[in-house]
């Protein structure tokens, strides 16, 4: 087969399912790489966490068997305070909550999950100790509300009592202490990370102005195709017959009046992969299209059907639905998601800096 034929086959086989704007938004809003480690969480850093997923993780620790059994053996000491394998496993299950369904952690990933979880519980303890050093306090009403919210997660009194027994030493006082610890960690992170991670609209606009490339997009065409594609090893007779079928299909397509009529014809007679989608390729950038298609499309208006085009041994033609010249996404189109991404990146950088700062003068002994 000719080189053009091989390229054509590839073009006809590769499906493009996202619209131009969707593709551009994904690209533009992925401009800042996440700095989060595997153990990173979006909001709170709490063992045991005051949240449904973490309560479930704790319950799984409490009821697990086999490889998930714990002995409350210390795994790390932070300035003399011991954290146990129960704390570690609880965090591992928060990271990967499907261990019961998978009979453990994924092969080859368990050590990464363990190291991420260990780093997280160390960070939490360091943050808690720093909050205590600063003599931070939690208003009594906020503490009472947090206790009530936590209790409300359990479907029955029996389930709550079982949790107290297995995870909180059977003591509501110990639970209250852990909830207070959680709230102190949250408060420290709010002051040192979340508040400082805010990105103003003007800051986002400055980033947009100074980093234009992620927001640029190339010329693209939205089109539907009908293709007649004889086998690579077809005889000359078969190829001549394919040409006749393609010419007949083209005449039928020229008589169609809209997207739907062309699409129904594509579903009926086209031989490329896009026939199941009414021949619709959605938006395709120029560099993803054969040059013959680009040249034809650039000379057409939306709604027109191209001439019959031969690509190697294939025959194709298309209906042009839209032509989008090269350009740049407006700031108004991306500002909200851009701010979110910038804030997320800034949050992770500040959190990593806080972790480094807290470790600088701490004694962390992994056992």
Residues 48, 167 contacting (CB under 8 angstroms):
yes
> Mean pLDDT over residues 313-336, rounded?
95
Residues 302 and 362 in one domain: no
* 352 pLDDT more than 80: yes
What is the domain range of residue 302? Answer: 3-30+219-325
Residue 275 covered by a domain: yes
| Confidence band of 170 (pLDDT split at 50, 70, 90) | confident
More confident residue, 227 or 39: 227
How high is the pLDDT of residue 273?
A: 92
Please give the Cα distance from 67 to 59 (Å, whole number).
15
How high is the pLDDT of residue 304?
A: 97
Which of 60-74, 106-120, 123-137, 228-242 has the highest mean predicted lDDT (pLDDT)? 123-137
CA geometry: angle at 36 spanning 30 and 42, to 5°?
Answer: 90
Tokens (6 digits) for 133? 């050093």
| Confidence band of 73 (pLDDT split at 50, 70, 90) | very high
**Which residues in 201-287 belong to E strands, given as ranges?**
216-217, 220-228, 280-285
Residues 267 and 301 in one domain: yes
Q: Are strands 364-366 and 74-78 parallel, antiparallel or unpaired?
A: antiparallel
How high is the pLDDT of residue 124?
A: 95
The gap from C-alpha 106 to its chain's centroid, in whole angstroms, comes to: 20
How high is the pLDDT of residue 362?
A: 95
How high is the pLDDT of residue 11?
A: 59
Residues 11 and 110 in one domain: no
Residues 181 and 100 in one domain: yes
| Confidence band of 94 (pLDDT split at 50, 70, 90) | confident
Residue 203 covered by a domain: no
Please give the Cα distance from 344 to 350 (Å, whole number).
10
| Confidence band of 102 (pLDDT split at 50, 70, 90) | confident
pTM (2 d.p.): 0.67
Secondary structure of residue 185 in the 3-state scheme: helix
Q: What is the CATH number of the domain that holds 180?
A: 1.10.4030.10
Residues 156 and 286 in one domain: no
H/E element, 221: strand 220-228
Size of the chain, expressed as the number of residues it contains: 367
**Which residues in 258-312 belong to E strands, given as ranges?**
280-285, 309-311
The count of structural domains within the chain is 2
Residues 6+ apart with CB under 8 A from 114: 88, 92
Residue 208 covered by a domain: no
Residue 38 covered by a domain: no
Secondary structure of residue 274 in the 3-state scheme: helix
Q: What is the CATH number of the domain that holds 306?
A: 3.10.50.40
ω into 48 cis (within 30 of 0): yes
> Mean pLDDT over residues 1-12, rounded?
51
Residues 6+ apart with CB under 8 A from 199: 339, 342, 343, 346
Four-residue CA torsion sign, 356, 338, 32, 341: positive
* Whole-number Cα distances in Å, 22 to 211, 321, 339: 19, 17, 18
Q: What is the pLDDT of residues 198-221, one digit of tens each?
A: 999 999 999 999 999 999 999 999
> Mean pLDDT over residues 326-338, rounded?
96
Q: How many CB atoms lie within 10 A of CB 82?
A: 15
């Amino acid at each position: 087969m000719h080189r053009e034929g091989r390229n054509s086959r590839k073009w006809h086989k590769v499906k493009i399912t996202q619209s131009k704007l969707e593709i551009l938004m994904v690209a533009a809003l992925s401009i800042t790489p996440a700095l989060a480690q595997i153990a990173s969480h979006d909001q709170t850093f709490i063992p045991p966490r005051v949240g449904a997923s973490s309560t479930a993780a704790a319950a799984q620790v409490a009821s697990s068997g086999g490889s998930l059994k714990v002995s409350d053996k210390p795994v790390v000491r932070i300035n003399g305070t011991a954290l146990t394998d129960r704390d570690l496993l609880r965090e591992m299950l928060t990271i990967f909550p499907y261990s019961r369904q998978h009979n453990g952690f994924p092969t080859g990933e368990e050590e990464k999950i363990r190291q991420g979880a260990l780093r997280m519980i160390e960070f939490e303890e360091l943050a808690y100790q720093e909050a205590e050093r600063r003599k931070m306090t939690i208003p009594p009403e906020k503490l009472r509300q947090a206790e009530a919210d936590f209790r409300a997660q359990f479907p029955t009194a029996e389930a709550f009592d079982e949790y107290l027994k297995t995870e909180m030493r059977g003591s509501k006082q110990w639970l209250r202490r852990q909830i207070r610890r959680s709230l102190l960690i949250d408060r420290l992170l709010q002051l040192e990370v979340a508040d400082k991670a805010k990105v103003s609209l003007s800051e986002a606009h400055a980033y947009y102005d100074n980093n234009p490339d992620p927001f640029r997009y190339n010329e693209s065409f939205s089109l539907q195709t009908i293709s007649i594609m004889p086998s690579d090893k077809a005889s000359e007779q078969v190829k001549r017959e394919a040409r006749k079928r393609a010419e007949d299909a083209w005449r039928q397509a020229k008589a169609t009046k809209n997207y739907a009529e062309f699409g129904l014809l594509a579903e009926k007679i086209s031989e490329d992969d896009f026939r199941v989608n009414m021949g619709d390729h959605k938006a395709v950038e120029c560099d993803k299209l054969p040059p013959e298609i680009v040249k034809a499309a650039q000379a057409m208006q939306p709604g027109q059907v191209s001439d019959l085009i031969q690509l190697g041994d294939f025959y194709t033609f298309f209906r042009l639905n839209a032509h989008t010249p090269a350009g740049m996404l407006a700031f108004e189109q991306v500002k909200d998601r851009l701010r979110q991404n910038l804030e997320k990146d800034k949050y992770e950088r500040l959190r990593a800096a806080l972790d480094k700062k807290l470790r600088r003068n701490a004694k962390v002994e992994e056992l």
